[in-house]
Structure 1
Amino acid sequence: MATFGVGGFFPEEQSQEASPSTQGSKYLILAVVFLRFAFAGLAIIAKSALAKGMSPFTFAVYRNAIATVTFAPFALIFERTNRPRMTLSMLYKIILLGLLGVIEQDLYYTGMKHTTATFATALYNVLPVITFVLSWILRQENVNFRSLRGHAKLLGTLVTFGGAMVMTVIKGPVIDLSWTKDTTSAHINPQNPILGAFMILTACFCWAYFHILQADMLESLKPYNFELSLTTLICTVATVESAITTLVIERGNAAIWSIHLDIKLLAYIYGGIICSGVAYYIAGIVMKQKGPVFVTSFNPLTMVIVAVMGSFIFADELDLGKVAGAIIIVIGLYLVLWGKSEKKD
């Protein structure tokens, strides 16, 4: 794998000039950070839309349908000459990927509806740990526990999770920020935090296995340019599966299908184009080189971003616990990145 320079902490890894592989690693890091900002934006938009009556189930339908319509032309144009032949094994995996995506979206946003955007993104920080353990069990992630970098990957994952828990559990004194003193902002009280937490945790398992299965599929088809086509196929299958799920669960409620120029429509479009289409595509490219653990290791950044955005948009107060947790998360991510920079454990 590419070497990621880490400065003075590990001087033996330094080089006089950045190699092409190092530059490539930096671009991959920027790509994953972009995904975190994208999903943080969706958390804010979706929570506002849910407060306006958006159904989590129709959200999944419209989100995947918009992603399909948007990316199908690009897949047909750019990957028409280098696309693998569809097999029963591929079809099965695509159907399973679509189903995992639908279950994750339905459970996560239903859980968010019962809690808050900050709580949902905080609890979702178990994702890197779940992905790491599942990848290790399925032998997609190699960890040599006798090597320094192997220890760094494990310790970094645990530190990142610990930082997320600090942000969640420890409050501390409130940091005095002038823009958080607006008490007129709408704060939504949790309806059922226990049920919401259970749904979010179940969504984490689905999303972790989604990344592992997607990475495995792309690795087996590495000679082909298949990322756009796979994104389109997953979203197409997910549209059908989520539509069936919605018709069964929300039967008789025709009002949830209505579309107007409001925050709900923004959630459909933003979620479809950015967080389904673009996110699946970028995550696929990154996982081809770095694996699913690398992608999900950055997930705690979402909570940091949501906490900051929430302080501006919803006038949510920032406390010392959130700031301390954010610093710990950065340290954990740094350890994971250094541990992942080695070609072999």
Structure 2
Amino acid sequence: MGMKAWLSGMVPIAAMVMMECLDVGLITLSKAAMSRGMNHFVFVVNYNALASLILFLPSFIFHRTKRPPLTFSHFCKFFLLGLPGFTVMQNWVFTGVSYSSPTLCYAMSCLIPAFTFLLAVAFRLEDLDSRSSRSQIKFLGTLISISGALIVTLYKGPPIGGGSISSNNHLLKTADNWVIGGLFFAAAGLSLSAWNTCQSKAPILTSGYPSNITVISFVTLFGAIQSTAVSLIAVRDSNAWKLRPDIELISIIYSVRTLVSAFSWVALIS
């Protein structure tokens, strides 16, 4: 009995570790595709649209008798959930990747727990007592996370082996892009933290609507619609919407697999 309970408790941890590994592959593949000309805005639209179609199948086939009717209020909540958790966060993440690298992306991900903690304190979801060792450790961890992210983003370091003036100018430009990418990653982390805080403040998955997979499907769909609106404004070149059957297609298929796996785990362990 004890071993069974221990294994059940390890399922969420194993799921999170697996998703982190899949995410590393996603960011790396997307960077490779962007290096070959794929637009990051179009990438977000494609994989959200395809993922929503895949997620809707089990939602309507297997859960149609288990979920209550959807109301206009539910659709409004789904739409609002899609803004910070999908449209804003994803577009900022992949914009940051286009400017920098997957390494910086995951170095900056340490800001997410720090931002979440600060927002939780601001909204009184977390108690901050300066005399409590628990609060002191959380506050210290937050400072370390923010300091580490700032060092990774701002410290450029000297050019290796000297080099010519032109190569040094290239290094300076690359460093500037690295900082821009870091700023986008920080904004994405803040957006995701806000999404997590909103879920704690008004948990739609538990009280607003009982069918998790249905919520996930509609939030993904609204994320695709919102991302399409952003892309139509930001992307003027019609050729950017053409999907080439190379690393671009592979990265989108892989991203859909990662997204569906993540949400399947959420629906399973929630």
Q: Residue 198 of structure 1 aligns with which residue?
A: 183
Asked if residue 243 in structure 1 is aligned to residue 228 in structure 2, the reply is yes
Q: Counterpart of 1:273?
A: 257
Identify the structure with the greater helix proportion: 2
| Cα 1:193–1:162 shift into 2, 3 Å | closer
The superposition leaves residues 11-30 of structure 1 with CA deviations (integer Å, 9 ceiling, x where unpaired) of xxxxx94472x433211111
**Pair 163,244 (structure 1): closer, same or farther in 2 beyond 3 Å:** closer
Q: Which residue of 2 aligns with 1:326?
A: none
Q: TM-score, normalised by structure 2?
A: 0.79
**Runs of 5+ unmatched residues, structure 2:** 157-173
Aligned to 1:127: 112
SS of equivalent to 1:192: helix
Q: Secondary structure at the match of 1:46?
A: helix
Out of 197, 200, 206, the residue aligned to residue 219 of structure 1 is 206
Distance in structure 2 (CA, Å) of the matches to 1:284 and 1:161: 31
Q: 2:265 aligns with which of 261, 282, 285?
A: 282
CA distance, structure 2, for counterparts of residue 199 and residue 260 of structure 1: 27
CA drift of 1:248 comes to: 1.2
Q: Structure 1: which 5+ runs fail to align?
A: 1-15, 172-188, 289-345
Distance 1:268 1:142 in 2: 41
Q: Residues 163 and 245 (structure 1 numbering): CA distance in 2 closer, same or farther, change over 3 Å?
A: closer
* Deviation for aligned residue 1:263: 1.0
Contact 1:214–1:284 at 8 Å: present in 2 too?
no
1:260 to 2:209 alignment = no
Identify which range, 140-149 or 24-33, moves more after superposition. Answer: 140-149
Task: Give the Cα separation in 2 of the matches to 1:38 and 1:232.
Answer: 20
1:111 has 2:109 as partner: no
SS at match of 1:260: coil
Mapped contact 2:74–2:208 kept (Cα < 8 A):
no
Aligned to 2:64: 80
CA deviations 1:88-145 (Å, max 9, x no partner) are 4432221122222111111111111111111122123211111122233334456777
Of 125-134 and 137-146, deviating more is: 137-146
Counterpart CA distance in 2 for 1:211 and 1:268 is 25
Q: Is the 8 A contact 2:153 2:178 kept in 1?
A: no
Alignment partners' CA distance in 2, 1:157 and 1:29: 22
Please say if 1:28 is aligned against 2:12: yes
Residue of structure 1 in register with 2:159 after alignment: none
Once superposed, what is the RMSD of the aligned Cα atoms? 3.1
Return the letter of the residue paired with 1:217. Answer: I
Please give the per-residue CA displacement for 1:168-207, whole angstroms capped at 9, x wherever unaligned: 7899xxxxxxxxxxxxxxxxx5662232222221111111
More off after superposition, 51-60 vs 276-285: 276-285
Distance (Å, rounded) in 2 between the aligned partners of 1:235 and 1:122: 26
2:24 alignment partner in structure 1: 40
Separation in structure 2 between the aligned mates of residue 85 and residue 144 of structure 1, nearest angstrom: 44
Q: Is the 8 A contact 1:115 1:191 kept in 2?
A: no
Aligned partners of 1:108 and 1:199 also within 8 Å? yes
Within 2, Cα distance between the matches of 1:18 and 1:145? 38
Q: How many residues matched?
A: 252
Task: Sort the Cα spacing of 1:138 and 1:284 in 2 relative to 1 into closer, same or farther, 3 A.
Answer: farther
In 1, Cα distance between equivalents of 2:70 and 2:19: 29
Which residue of 186, 190, 193 maps to 1:208? 193
User: Is the 1:102–1:242 contact (alpha carbons within 8 Å) kept by the matching residues of 2?
Assistant: yes
Render the CA deviation track for 1:35-73: whole Å, top value 9, x for unaligned: 111111111111111111111110111010110111111
Mapped partners of 2:137, 2:240: distance in 1: 47
Please show how residues 171-186 of structure 1 align to structure 2 within 5 Å.
Answer: none
> Which residue identity is paired with 1:282?
W
Q: Are 2:42 and 1:58 aligned?
A: yes
